[in-house]
Structure 1
Amino acid sequence: MSRGFRIESLEIEGFRAFNLPRKFKLGDARFILLIGPIGSGKSSVLKAIEYALYGSSYEITRLGPVRLKHEDVINDFKDMLNIELVLGGEHELRVVRSRKRGGVGKLRVYIDNRPVKGEAESFLRSCIVLGHEDFLREIVIHHLILRDIVEGGPVRRSVALDRLFGIEMLEQTYKSIPLTIVEKKIDELKMRIKEVDLELARIGSLYTPQELKSLEADIERLREKVSTIQQEYDYIENLLTKLEEARLKYGLLLERYSNLESQLEDIEKRLEEVEEVSTVELISDMEDVLENTISFLRDMLYEDIIKEIPRGDEISLSEKVLKSTSKALDVVSSIVRDLEFKLEDLVNERMEYKRRYDVLRSRKLDLESEIERLLHYRYEYMKLVKKYGIPDDIEKRIEQKESEFLRLNRKSRQLRNLWDLLKILIDRLRLEKKIECPVCGSKLVEDDLKKILERKDRLEKKELVDTITRMERIEKEIEKLREILDRIKELEEKVRKLEELELEREELERKTSKLNNILQHAEENIHIVRDKIGRAKHLEVRLQDLISKLSTYLERKDLIEKQKELHSKLKSIKEELEKLKYEEDRYLKLKKKREELRRTLFENRVKLESMLKDYERTKKELEKAHYLFKNKELLEKKLRDLETLHKRLKSVRNLLRVVQADLRTRMLERIRSNMNKTFRQLYVHPDLVEVDIRAVEVAKRSIYEIYVRRSSDGEWVPIYSKLSDGQRLMIALSLLLSIYKLYPHNIDFILLDEPFANINGECRKSILKLLARTDSPQQVLIATQDETIISLIKKIIDKDKIIVYKLTYGGVEGPRVTRIH
């Protein structure tokens, strides 16, 4: 299979220990060593790689034991950090991440030196594939994680392993179940029930139903007394009412006589002021104006109003005609107002349609621009589908290629095994001259050596080389097909979006045409309404003038008639005053008696109101007692429900423990074989032969225990009580290296922070040999204080595949970086 991303270069400025810019060129090196004492910036280099890829680091995320802020990783002598990371692979990926103190982070991504447009963070995630937590589990071997596994207690060790397996959420969920809150709520409900009981006891000691019945009887007696007084008061009030009516009528007659005299004087003055109007001229104007009014109202479809307007012989100088004309004026004025409102609505409507028309045209232009931009994606999509087929076909071809690759891989291993066997036979024949074949058991002598050498040479130069060549070719084909598949899927989204935009453009064209027609119609309506308003206003002025003249004529006529009527009324009032009889003394005595009864009635009503308040207070307290009793029943029901919930939550917590134990067991089954294989390659001593991690129950919870089998007696023993720190560290490294191979990803480097503490030289050598294998990560970055690692690596791998940077303390400027190999 093709290799993933490797680190080609890294430049750091203003990040953690680094103040001034420092650049690390890694190229094609297999091993990169960062050598230096404590505090020289080795770990800062590894964390810079992590921060460049994810915009965060181990200490900032929840995985860190000490939570830091983004501000904390900016160098104390800088206001900004800047990290540039270049990754090599099928394409060159350059990641530039910066952050100002007090600001937000910025990310720029370049693919083959071309800037990525759009959401850079999403694009980077799609390239790297691994999430941040997966990166910390699978790529970074951190000394803090090793310490938790090697030195931590059962709980700390279990938390660390759960994080490595990606199942730590179960423990967090278990701790988040609020049993304590439910228990507190249960205690609160019990306290409230106790308070209700105390209140019920208080009410029972102060108020009884018998007291309520006694109050009801006293209230009824007082109501009867109030009723008797009220009847006597009503009788006197009735008599006074009749006398007051007579008294009022007497006063009114006097007042009316005075008013009539005043009115007669005013009418005579008004007659002198009102001028006379020509009857013939008034009728002529009336006929002309009313005819125009009828014509206008008929045009406006007011047929009901036209029927009320007089015509021909119906026209006269009367109040009826005035009312009809006034009503016609009101209608015309109303029409003017309606037309003006309608004109305003039409103008606003036209402006709204114009605005919507402009918005649609603007959107249409934007759509056409976007469609033009997306057209080439459709061409590229059709071209790829025509050449390679649909995604399902490509996936089938990938599966076929992968099957062939696996078959060749098995064949390659068989050929290597055969080559190893032939080499062993050649070496033994050269030493012993005569041996027994370990496969078939036949005797081999020195004469057979030539045949074996020929077979080994043929195997080495042709069969094995051909197989590996075919595997590499197939691997490249698979990688190319996968890239094409990803591109087709990406283009499918672009083409789908293009089709949606084309449909939207057609809909916009239809709406634009419709709105244009509406705008033309609106302009025509505005012109028509303006003409009607002008005609209606002219008619309104003429009607007002006609009504003014007719009103003057009718007013003079009415004043003359009223003058005659007032003379007659004054004579009649004089006669009525003489006939009316009224006694003022009797009226005053009855009025005094009414006031005495009113005072007595008020006092008894106040007393009745006080008794009613006492009655209502007693009644409310008894009702409150009834409500408290019902509330107590509800509280007791809630208490029972909460106690049931408490039991269920405890069951859920217990179930989470069962699920946690099951998931831990399954993860251990997946990793156990690969971990033991790695351990046997790392641990060179014969005393320990196998490692096992077990999920065991302790105090109703599942924890991890790590055991190792001794070769001396075959017994499984716990590593924390029987093994040294170095042996435990070897086991932890085996686990972490096996996790790297457990999940598929496209990152082909691994970061190790101080991995060799308490490990002897032979075991260190075996660790480096394992990391140098072809099936291991193709780039290994190691941060360590131990300079002896350099000589060990040089014995294992070619010197040109090794880069060593030495870091030393540089004060305010940050670490000094020197490439020493």
Structure 2
Amino acid sequence: MKLRRLEVECFRGFSGRRVFDFQDGVTLIVGPVGAGKTSILSAIQFALFGADFYVGFGVSRKESLVNVGCAEASVQLSFEVAGEGVYSLRRRLSVSDGRLTESVALETPGGDVFEGASKVEGIIEEVLGLDFNEFVRSVSVSYVLVHMLAYGRPLTRSRALDILLGVNAVRRFLESIPLRTVRSSLEQAKAELSAVQAEYEEAVKSLSAFNERRASISEELRGIERQIEELSAKAESLRAEAERYESLAKELENERSYLSKLKERVKHPPSEVDLYKIIEEAENLRLMLGEVLEKLKAPQSILSMLESVAVSSEKVGEAILSLEKIVDAAWNHYDKVWEDFQESVREVQLKKAELEALEKVIVELEPSVSEYEEAEERIQELESRYGELSEIEERVRSLEQDVKEISRKIQTYRSVLQLKKSLIEDAGRKGSAQCPVCGHQVDLKGVEGIKADMEQLAKSIIELEKKLSENEKRLKELREALDDIRSLKVLLVSRELEYEKYREYLERKESLSEEIREDEVKLKEEERGYRELSAVLTKIDERVRDLRRRLVELEAVAEIAKVEDRIRKLEEELARYEPKYREYLDIRDKISKMLSRKNELEAQLRALDESSIQDQVRWLQERLSSLEARVARLEALYQRLEKVKSATREVLTALRRERIEELNRRMNAIISAVYSSEIVKSVRLEVVERSRRKGLMPTSYYELFVEVGGTKYRFNDLLSDGQKTLVVLSLLLAVYSQIRRNVDFIMLDEPLPNVDERIKVTFLKSLSKALGIDQVILTTQAEEAVKELEGVNVVKLP
């Protein structure tokens, strides 16, 4: 399989539509930071598998694949499969109302069209012979993976290599063997066995004390039963007098209760329980009730009822009953009027709820509005300091060119300075020297002139270095300002809708607040009037009902005198029976205490029988036997697991060594082809075993070694950052050559960020031949190195 054409629109760093064609051979994607180089490789990963490296490993969300200024992103990839033809694969991502929608379609060379992520990705994996994880670890190599292998700890590097080399399942099985868990269970079982043994010995000692305690309780129980029998006979002889006393006491209690209820009914002092005073007050209440009904605008039916009430000594009871009915009718009408008032109150509450909701939304929008306003102020500040965006970009490009030109001059001047120094040294030793550049002959007399030139060159270099430092500092400042303005403008676009809503909600809040203030003034006045009427009506209601109670109290006063006479006679008779009753109660109390003690002793006997020490001893014997068997099983299991873990570790070590033999050969062949070095003679990946603390098994891991001057070193201890990157990259390319399946291309994202341009050129020239593949796609910022390459396809991004 080879890549042929890629079309992207609104994907990651691309705000519009871009088309890229891929030929056989080496394709270099060149451009500065932020130009979209990595976005091209991400688009290929997304087209094939629906995710790129960062989304697939949970570093970022899929929504981030859609350009910040677009609502939809699309990617179309055409690839050719030998012997079949060209496939066309299209994916779309849409973001609407916070929801993400994805669609995918694959057209085969025969014209068949397949849709749906599951179906399409199954076909892609079958065509490539790789899944997503294998693809991003071997075919599409990210600088993140290179950095992890180059600078990660040995354990981190070993885990990554196990996955790449296909032995991760064995390593995971080895780590899953629960040797520590079984050892912990064994120690716990032994401790429990020791505790049960101690408990068993203590239970045996308690057996004799148990028998003595049971005999003592039985003897005490028999004595209590004899005393209960004697007291029960005496109590029986006093039963008749006791029952008569209780009957009289109950009757007296009933009479006293009745008297209490009668007295409770008489709440008023004697002066208030007067018929003529009740009639006078009833007439006053009738007049007050008429005034309230007029203010409430009561219906005529209620007013007619009030007019028909006549208060007289013969019909005072009927008049009070009629007033009670009219008061109830007045309350019902008041409730209707109050409900209408409450409806108006609820309307104001709804407005307040709307106002509260508006204030909550305004508070939630304030952070976004603050961000919007701060972003506007920051952009104005940056543009006033540095100029418009286009001006800053032009100044950055100009400064970049100046920095390159000054650097080239400094290098040239240093070379000339070194040449002149060599001529002076040769002339000093031999008497004269010939310039290897121009052929001019220099003798001892001409040395002074060369020295003067050297002083002038040294001054020029110092001035150029100072200028270079100033330009680099200014360039860094302008780049930072450029990045700030771009990000702030993106922020303005993302917060613009929220800012407009904020202004709209503020206007509605002011209007609604004014309406609420006017309504509350009006309702407050109405409420005060209604509450005054309610207070008057409540007072009338209470006084009418009080009149009713005073009429009832007139009847209760006569009944109280009769009841008090009956109570006096019952008290005299009760006093004659009290001595015998007290004696009877004393005997019953003694019997009750003895029965309580009897029950307590019987409970102790039952508890002794239910928790028999013999049963406890027998249970402890069974428990000891069970624990001894469990300890034996755990010891046997631990020994077997030790053997399994040891064998699995040996298998893992053997598999690791087996996998790296061919890998080392390929890695050295690749590094020899892409990096010619007199220092690094060879590189080797080895499996190293390390002993752990006492009681634990040794472990193995991968270690990279380099041979320098006939001595082997760990590559982390000796190599520079650039050399480490070359070694790790060669290792990954060797892995690719072993597992590439049906893929005849490789993609590398900025593979050598920290090596000089000469090494980059050598690497790029020899990579395709070293791997034996037809198509290589790389991203790089090294624009100068690209100029030295011939026969490569160059995609230059602005």
TM-score normalized with structure 2 length: 0.46
TM-score normalized with structure 1 length: 0.45
